[in-house]
Structure 1
Amino acid sequence: MKYVGRFAPSPSGPLHFGSLVAALGSYFQAKSQRGDWLVRMEDLDPPREMPGAAKLILETLEAYHLHWDGEVVYQSHRHELYQQQIEQWLSKQQAYYCQCTRKQIKAAGSYYQGQCRNKNLTADNCSIRIKIDAPVTEFVDLKQGKITLPSAIAAEDFIIKRRDGLFAYNLAVVIDDIEQGVTEVVRGADLIEPTGRQISLYQLLGAKPVQYLHLPLAVTENGAKLSKQNHAQGISLSDPIPTLICAMRFLGFVLPKQIETANIDEILAWGVKHWHLEQLPKATQITTLFSNRIS
């Protein structure tokens, strides 16, 4: 089976250093196996999106010569596909409407405990949850090995469509990865926790789960993840090589001097040739002082 990987940013801001690390890790993993590297825009949450961010992210990838295969897929264009699957589950009573608020769930012990599972509620002011009868409590990560997940989270009937009508990330990402033929997901370690939920959806859909590789997160000195929510600065488009080299070192590369002075295509080709999982740091978080504004 041909390797198919992907990079799936959300357009809530420009591409920052932590996102570049994830993009490079997924790119090198795909290209080192002569596979395809897809780009999908996870634009499921319009209130959180920054106008023009999707275009800027693609321009940034192009500036770093991270050329994707095929067409960019936008989740905002795939709502009908997600809704069709939800309707199938509702008709089979595999999914159900839930009226519980976050405040109510927190008061009941922080995790949803199936309060609406058998109430036969209608859609009015409700979210939709999927029934999880066979929780996934562990999986194997290609770098981290066996990962054990909290049982309370794994057993939770989680939301697949919010009460505001927006589709949930866990639902969309699994449907899209199946439809696009993705064989392996390379992403940041902040997404280890929802992996069990996503594997549960693969099982419910009768599909073979992808393999997972979670990369170390770039964090600040105070332990905060570099993210758009934490106002991480966008990376430079006009002078990409210093940032590229910094991100490759973060991923465990030891670059020879002649490569550091090479052009961007030569650097990437060298990275593809020398990429191996053993080089990756074992830690799930690495402190970085990196700061680079868009210019």
Structure 2
Amino acid sequence: MVYVGRFAPSPTGALHLGSLLAALGSWLDARAAGGCWLLRIEDIDPPRAVRGAARAQLQTLRRFGLLPDADPWRQSARAAAYAVALRQLAAAGHAYPCACTRADLEAHGGIHPPRCVRPARADGAHAWRLRVPRGVIAFADRLQGPRQQDVHAEVGDFVLRRADGLWAYQLAVVVDDAAQGVSDVVRGADLLDSTPRQIMLQRLLMLPTPRYLHLPVVVDTAGLKLSKARGSAALPSDALDALRQALTLLGQRESAARPARSTTHLLEHALTHYRADLLPRSRAIAAPQSADAGAPRTLADDHSTRSAT
């Protein structure tokens, strides 16, 4: 099977150390397998998007030497494909319109009950939900190991298209991964719990299921995930130092005898010596204290202080 990997940021702010970890990890894994690496801008939520963020993210990746093998896709241009998938699910009885509000769901513990609490709304607006079948979804994550989830009991009928007409992430990512031929998804462990929902959709839509590898997310001193939307510090101008920092957090080592003098040489060395078995198996990993302030430490300092929670 041809390896096709991808990095899919949302344009909600500047890329930070956690973003770089996911981008670099997916790039290394794809390149080490002799595969291709794609980019997808997940811009299906315009209210959360920051103007100019997508262009800035692409420029940052270029500055770090992480170049895709094809022009980036934008989910904002993919509405027709999502509509086809929704019609397929609805025709098979797997999706239904829902006018329940968030308050309605909170009254039921956050999980959609067997029937809609609010069959209709005065304004006619409604979401579309997946009718989640009973049973456990199990899969083997390449890094985190065996995982399983009873989506029916733990999540309930989840949204495919919102009442405001915007497409939900779970449907969009499944449709796009299949359309781009993605064989391997390497991303942050904050999305680990979403994977069973995506596998369920893949099966119902008769789409292939990629292999999954969930890297630890980078957290700050308070234990909070670094976030574009929360204003975590953007990557510094010194791309070489930031790459060294990210490689260390990924468990990869730079040669102490011949340290790289450019991002190109560092990426070449990292690719040659990449070992997936050295990736940290935790769901979160602590950033160096200076990382969220935009001043990454050296490789040696990072290796000696790396910790996971």
**Fold shared by both chains (TM-score > 0.5):** yes
Q: CA deviation at 1:183?
A: 0.2
Equivalent position of 1:218 in the other structure: 218
Equivalent position of 1:229 in the other structure: 229
Q: CA deviation at 1:84?
A: 1.9
Cα distance in structure 1, aligned partners of 2:77 and 2:154: 30
- Note if contact 1:135-1:200 (Cα within 8 Å) is conserved in structure 2: no
Cα distance in structure 2, aligned partners of 1:211 and 1:126: 34
Q: Match of 1:286, SS?
A: strand
Where does the alignment leave 5 or more consecutive residues of structure 2 unmatched?
296-309
**Cα distance change, pair 117–3 in 1 and its aligned pair in 2 (3 A):** farther
Q: Match of 2:146, SS?
A: strand
Indicate yes or no: 2:174 matched with 1:182: no
Q: CA deviation at 1:293?
A: 4.2
The residue identity in structure 2 corresponding to 1:13 is G
Q: Match of 2:193, SS?
A: coil
**Cα distance change, pair 32–259 in 1 and its aligned pair in 2 (3 A):** farther
Equivalent position of 1:78 in the other structure: 78
Q: CA deviation at 1:43?
A: 0.3
- Note if contact 2:216-2:285 (Cα within 8 Å) is conserved in structure 1: yes
Using the aligned pairs only, state the percent identity.
39
Indicate yes or no: 2:239 matched with 1:250: no
The residue identity in structure 2 corresponding to 1:283 is S
- Note if contact 2:151-2:196 (Cα within 8 Å) is conserved in structure 1: no
Q: CA deviation at 1:93?
A: 2.5
The residue identity in structure 2 corresponding to 1:159 is V
Q: CA deviation at 1:143?
A: 0.9
Equivalent position of 1:263 in the other structure: 262
Equivalent position of 1:90 in the other structure: 90
The range that moved more, 140-149 or 178-187, is 140-149
Equivalent position of 2:307 in the other structure: none
**Cα distance change, pair 57–155 in 1 and its aligned pair in 2 (3 A):** closer
Q: Match of 1:177, SS?
A: helix
Cα distance in structure 2, aligned partners of 1:241 and 1:263: 6
**Cα distance change, pair 214–35 in 1 and its aligned pair in 2 (3 A):** same
Size of the alignment, in residue pairs? 293
Pairwise mapping of residues 1-295 of structure 1 onto structure 2 (< 5 A)?
1-116=1-116, 124-149=124-149, 151-152=151-152, 156-236=156-236, 238-288=237-287, 289=289, 290-293=291-294
**Cα distance change, pair 227–70 in 1 and its aligned pair in 2 (3 A):** same
Cα distance in structure 2, aligned partners of 1:259 and 1:148: 44
- Note if contact 2:132-2:152 (Cα within 8 Å) is conserved in structure 1: no
**Cα distance change, pair 120–89 in 1 and its aligned pair in 2 (3 A):** farther
- Note if contact 1:98-1:129 (Cα within 8 Å) is conserved in structure 2: yes
Where does the alignment leave 5 or more consecutive residues of structure 1 unmatched?
none
Cα distance in structure 2, aligned partners of 1:195 and 1:175: 14
- Note if contact 2:136-2:148 (Cα within 8 Å) is conserved in structure 1: no
Q: CA deviation at 1:151?
A: 4.9
Q: CA deviation at 1:137?
A: 3.2
Q: CA deviation at 1:120?
A: 9.4
The residue identity in structure 2 corresponding to 1:291 is D
Question: Cα deviations across residues 252-273 of structure 1 (Å, max 9, x unaligned)?
Answer: 0122224534311111011111
Q: Match of 2:40, SS?
A: strand
Q: CA deviation at 1:211?
A: 0.6
Q: Which runs of 4+ in 1 moved over 3 A?
A: 117-123, 134-137, 150-155, 258-261
- Note if contact 1:111-1:152 (Cα within 8 Å) is conserved in structure 2: no
The residue identity in structure 1 corresponding to 2:254 is L
- Note if contact 2:32-2:271 (Cα within 8 Å) is conserved in structure 1: yes
Q: Match of 1:257, SS?
A: coil
Question: Cα deviations across residues 32-57 of structure 1 (Å, max 9, x unaligned)?
Answer: 00100000000010000000000000
Q: Match of 1:39, SS?
A: strand
Superposed CA RMSD: 2.1
Cα distance in structure 1, aligned partners of 2:91 and 2:260: 60
- Note if contact 2:104-2:117 (Cα within 8 Å) is conserved in structure 1: no
The range that moved more, 137-146 or 57-66, is 137-146
Q: Match of 2:264, SS?
A: helix
Q: Match of 2:292, SS?
A: coil
- Note if contact 1:245-1:260 (Cα within 8 Å) is conserved in structure 2: no
Q: CA deviation at 1:134?
A: 4.6
Q: CA deviation at 1:110?
A: 2.0
Cα distance in structure 2, aligned partners of 1:135 and 1:128: 21
Q: CA deviation at 1:121?
A: 9.4
